[in-house]
Structure 1
Amino acid sequence: MKQDIFRIPDFACRHCGKPVSQSFADLGMTPLCQTQIPPDRFNAPEKYFPLQAYVCTNCWLVQLRDCISSGDVFTSDYPYFSSFSPSWLAHAKAYVDTMVERLQLTPQSLVMELASNDGYLLRHFGPHGVPVVGVEPSGSVAKAARALGIRTEECFFGRATAQEMLGKYGPADLIAGNNVLAHVPDINDFVGGVKVSLKPHGTVTFEFPHLLNLIQQNQFDTIYHEHFSYLSLHAVQAVFATAGLEVYDVEKLSTHGGSLRVFGQHAGAAQARTARVDALLDEEREAGFLKVETYTAFAQQAQATKRDILSFLIEARRQGKRVGGYGAPGKGNTLLNYCGIGTDLIEFTVDANPAKQNTFAPGSRIPIYAPDHIREARPDFLFILPWNLKEEIMAQTAYIQEWGGQWVTPIPNPKVWSKPAVRN
C-alpha cells in the first residue's frame, strides 16, 4: 500500500506517554503570542511555530506538540503582569480570604504560589500574617514581586526544585497555582513537585480554563504556545493520580471565559471527596469528553467563527468605519494571526500594561498604544481582544458612546454592543 506522505507522525502524550495522532485544532503557523515587537525590530524576521492541538485518546489530555521550550516563552523580560487587571486582583483577594478561613491558615502556616507573577495574589496574605513564598521563572515579574517584599524564587518548578525549596522553607500548608497548570510542558514533573512540597494534610489548588467552555463557547483563541495543555477534570484527575495526589473538591469559576478550581491532597488524606467532583465528571462524560467525535468537531467551529469575524471587519471597513482594538493578550494575538487580521482591518490596539505600549503585536504588526489613544482616534468600533474582561473594559471605555462608538466581542461569535455589558 502506498504510504500517505502527508500524514503527520504520532508523538508521545505528555502525560501517559501513549502515541497521539488525533487532531483537535490546527491554527496554522503563528509567532509566540507575548513577544511584542519594538519599533527598531519592526522589519526584522520573526519566528513562527505550528499551533496545532491534539487529544490523547487514552487519557483525554488535549495538548500541543513539543515545538518550543518553556524557557523560550517565559523569558527574563516576559511582559505579562497580573496586577494590571482590577477584576483579577479582586478575584485574587477573594481567593485568599476564603482559603485563610477554609484551611485555618495562621502565622505558623506556609503558602506557596506557583507562577506567582508580580505578587498580585500573595500580597493579600500579608494582612492575615501568613508567610508566603512565590515561584516565578520570569525575571521581570519576579523582580516586581520582590519589590513588594514577597519572597520569590526565580526558577521553573518541578521535583528537583521542590526538593531544594523543601530544605529552605519546609513543606507548604497550601500550594496555589492559578493559570499555570496548562503552561508547563512536563506536567508530570510539575505536579510531582507539588507532591514533594505539600504537607501531609495540606491542600493544593489549581485554577485553569475548563476545556468544556473552550469547546462549547468556541474559545479557539485560548490556544497558544504558552498553553501546552487544555484541561478537563478527567485529565487533571489522571495527572494527579500519577503523582500520588487526588482531587477532593472542585468549583466552577467565571474567570477566563469559564474556569475550574480543583482542590487536591495526598492520596488517602483526610478531606472527603465532595459530590461536586463526581457531578462534574458526569457532566464532562455527558458532553462527550470520552468520545473522539467531540474533539474532531471543534476545528469546524473555529473555522466558521474565523469567517464570521473577517466578514464583520471587512464589511465595517467597506462602510468607512474605523476599528480599534482593546488589549494585547495572548488570546488576542492567536485570534489576529489565525484570522490574518492586520492594520487594514484593525488600525491599532491599546493596553494598560506599559511594557506592551509603543510596541507592535507579533505577526500582525498592529501598533499598541496606551488606552488614552482611544479618545484621540475615536474609533467607530472597539474590538475587545480580552473578551473575558468585557464588562470591565466596557465600563472603563463607556466614553466611546460620546461619538457613537460601539464595542465588539469576537467569541463565541462576533457580537456588537451599543452599551456596556452587565455581568450575569
Structure 2
Amino acid sequence: MSCRLCGSSRLRSVLDLGATPPCELFLTADALDRPEVTYPLHLRLCEDCLLLQIPALILPEETFVDYAYYSSFSDSWVEHARTFVDAAIQRLGLDESSSVVEVASNDGYLLQHVVSAGIPCLGIEPSVNVGEAARERGVPTLTTFLDEAVAEQVRAERGPASLVVANNVYAHVPDLLGFTRALRTLTADDGWVSIEVHHALNLVALGQFDTVYHEHFQYYTVLSISRALATAGLTVVDVDLLSTHGGSIRVWAQPSQIAGPPTQAVVDALAQEEQAGLHTVEGYLDLEPRSQAVRQELLRFLLDAKADGLRVVGYGAPGKGNTLLNYCGIRSDLLEYTVDRNPYKHGRFTPGTRIPIHAPERIAADRPDVVLVLPWNLETEIAEQLAHVHEWGGQIVVPLPTVHRAGTRTEVLS
C-alpha cells in the first residue's frame, strides 16, 4: 500500500479494528446460514503528507450501485442542507443564471432546495435506487460515478458550475487525485467548490473509531484536505466548523489562480489542529488506546445491564453503528434488536453481528429498559423522536464520546 495522495510508502498504523464485513450489506433472513466475507479495517497515517487512510479493499462500484442509505430519513440532515443552500445563495449571489452541481447527491435531500429556488442544478449519484428517489422529487440526476471523463461531459453539455457541492463523498473515493481533478473540471474558473467531511481532529481526540469503515478511504484535517485539493489547482480560502457527524469541516475552495488569501477561520483551524498535535505523526498515536477505552466502557455498561436483567435494544442501523457493533463484539445477547426509519432495512440483519432490524414502532410495543442510539451524531434529533421512552421509565443511552444518557454528558453506570 502506498499513500493515495503523495505516493509515499511510509504508512504508520494508528488504528486496527480487525476484520469486518462491508457496513451497508445488510443480511436477509435466508442469508443467515451462509458465510460473510470480511475485510481488514486498518487505519494508517502517511508519515509524509499526514493523510489518514485505509486500503481500498472494497471499490465504490461494489457498494453504491444499490445503496441502503437515504439522506432524507434524517430530518436534521435535510434541514442542515436547506440552511446551507440558503446561505450559499446569499454568499455567492446565485440565481437563475447560475449552475449548481452536487456530487453524490443521494436522494435529492439538498438539491431539492436549489430546485425550489429556481436555480439550474444537476445531481451526480451512482446509486440507482436513491437516484431514482431524487428524480421523483424533481431533482435532475445523472446516475453514474464522477470521474474525469464524466466531468468533461457534464461541463461540455451544461457549462461550468458556479458551485460544486461534495458533501460526505470526498472520503469515499479511492482515486483521490482523479476525483479532485474532476471537481476542478466541473467548476467555473471563477466558481466555488464546497466540501463537507468528518473532521479527523474529532476522530483522533474523541476516539470516534466508528467513523472508520470500508466506504471511507481517507479522513481529513484542514491541512490534509488543503494538500489534496491543491493537486488539482484548488485552494482552500475558508472553512466552517460544523457539529454534524460528530464534528465536521466545510471547506470552501476556488481555482488557485483567482483564490484570495485564506480567511482567519482557516488560520484558526490549522492552529487548532497543530495544537492538538495533528501536524506531526505523534499526535495520532493515542487514537487506538482511546478507541479501546470507549469499547471497554460500552461493553461494561451492556454486560452490567444484562446481569441486572435489563432489556436493551438499539435505535438506528447506520454504517458507523456496524463498525461499533463488530469492533465491540456486540450481538443479540447484549442488544436484542435495533430499529430504523428506513423500510429497506426492516426484516434484515446487521452485517457481521446479525442483529435483527425492525420498524421504530417496535420500541413502543416492547417498552424496553434501555435504547442504545447507534447514530450518536444525531443525538438531539433522536432523543426527541424517542421522548416517549421516558413514559415507562426507559433510558435513552448514547455510546460516544462516553456512555451517557441522551441530553447529558454524564456517564451511565447502571
TM-score, scaled relative to structure 2: 0.97
Report which stretch shifted further, 188-197 or 266-275. Answer: 266-275
1:333 has 2:341 as partner: no
Structure 2 Cα separation of the partners of residues 386 and 261 of structure 1: 20
Q: How does 1:109-148 map to 2 (within 5 A)?
A: 109-148=98-137
- Residue type of the alignment partner of 2:392: W
Secondary structure in 2 matching 1:355: helix
The residue matched to 1:359 in structure 2 has which SS? coil
Structure 1 residue ranges (4+ consecutive) displaced by more than 2 angstroms after TM superposition: 270-273
CA offset at residue 357 of structure 1? 1.3
Q: C-alpha distance in 1, partners of 2:221/2:121?
A: 29
Q: Is structure 2 residue 79 aligned with structure 1 residue 90?
A: yes
Other-structure match for 1:289: 278
TM-score, normalisation: structure 1? 0.95
Using the alignment, how far apart are the partners of 2:354 and 2:52 within structure 1? 30
User: Within 2, Cα distance between the matches of 1:197 and 1:416?
Assistant: 45
Amino acid across the alignment from 2:285: T
| Number of the residue aligned with 1:40 | 30
Residue of structure 2 in register with 1:3 after alignment: none
Shift of 1:33: 0.5
Structure 1: which 5+ runs fail to align?
1-10
CA offset digits 1:247-297 (Å, max 9, x no partner)? 010010110011000000000215442111111111111111122222122
Verify: 1:376 aligned to 2:362, yes or no: no
Task: Return the alpha-carbon distance in structure 2 between the equivalents of residues 282 and 207 of structure 1.
Answer: 19
Amino acid at match of 2:161: A
What is residue 8 of structure 1 aligned with on the other side?
Answer: none
The Cα offsets for residues 65-117 of structure 1, whole Å up to 9 and x where unpaired, read as 12121111212x21100000000010000000000111011111100000000
What amino acid is the match of 1:69?
Answer: L
**Whole-angstrom distance in 2 between the partners of 1:342 and 1:265:** 47
2:392 maps to what in 1?
A: 403
Asked if the contact 2:237–2:259 (Cα under 8 Å) also holds between the matched residues in 1, the reply is no
Is 1:252–2:256 an aligned residue pair?
Answer: no
> CA offsets per residue over residues 9-55 of structure 1, 9 Å max, x none?
xx210111010330111000001001111112121211100000100
Measured in 1, the distance between the counterparts of 2:77 and 2:10 equals: 35
Letter in 2 for 1:320: G
**Which of 373, 379, 389 is the equivalent residue of 2:378?**
389
1:19 — aligned with what?
Answer: 9
Q: What is the DSSP-based 3-state SS (H/G/I as helix, E as strand, rest coil) of the residue aligned with 1:12?
A: coil
**Which residue of 21, 25, 40 corresponds with 1:50?**
40
Matching residue of 1:81: 70
Q: Residue 404 of structure 2 corresponds to which residue in structure 1? A: 415
Question: d(CA) in 2 for partners of 1:316 and 1:20?
Answer: 44
Alignment match, 2:144: 155
**1:62 alignment counterpart:** 52
Match of 1:320 among 309, 314, 320: 309
In 1, Cα distance between equivalents of 2:97 and 2:57: 43
- Asked whether the equivalents of residues 204 and 286 of structure 2 are also in contact (C-alpha less than 8 Å), the reply is no
- CA separation in 2, counterparts of 1:79 and 1:290? 36
Distance between the aligned counterparts of 1:70 and 1:349, measured in 2? 26
Which amino acid in the other structure matches residue 66 of structure 1?
A
CA distance in 1 between partners of 2:198 and 2:101 (Å): 21
Identity across matched positions, percent = 46
1:18 alignment partner AA: S
| Residues 1:28 and 2:56 are matched in the alignment | no
- Equivalent pairs counted in the alignment come to 409
How big is the shift at 1:416?
Answer: 3.0
Secondary structure of the 2:27 match is coil
Q: Which residue of 2 aligns with 1:5?
A: none
- Secondary structure, in 3 states, of the residue corresponding to 1:183? coil
**SS of structure 2 residue aligned to 1:400:** helix
CA RMSD between the two structures: 1.2
Q: How does 1:150-299 map to 2 (within 5 A)?
A: 150-299=139-288
AA aligned opposite 1:116: S
Asked if the contact 1:20–1:54 (Cα under 8 Å) also holds between the matched residues in 2, the reply is no
Residue type of the partner of 2:152?
Q
Provide the rounded CA distance (Å) in 2 between the counterparts of 1:307 and 1:194.
41
Residue deviations 1:140-164 (CA, integer Å, cap 9, x gap): 1011111122111111112121011
Q: List per-residue Cα deviations over 1:322-345 (Å, max 9, x = no partner).
A: 000000001100000000000000
1:309 to 281, 286, 298: 298
Secondary structure of the 1:113 match is strand
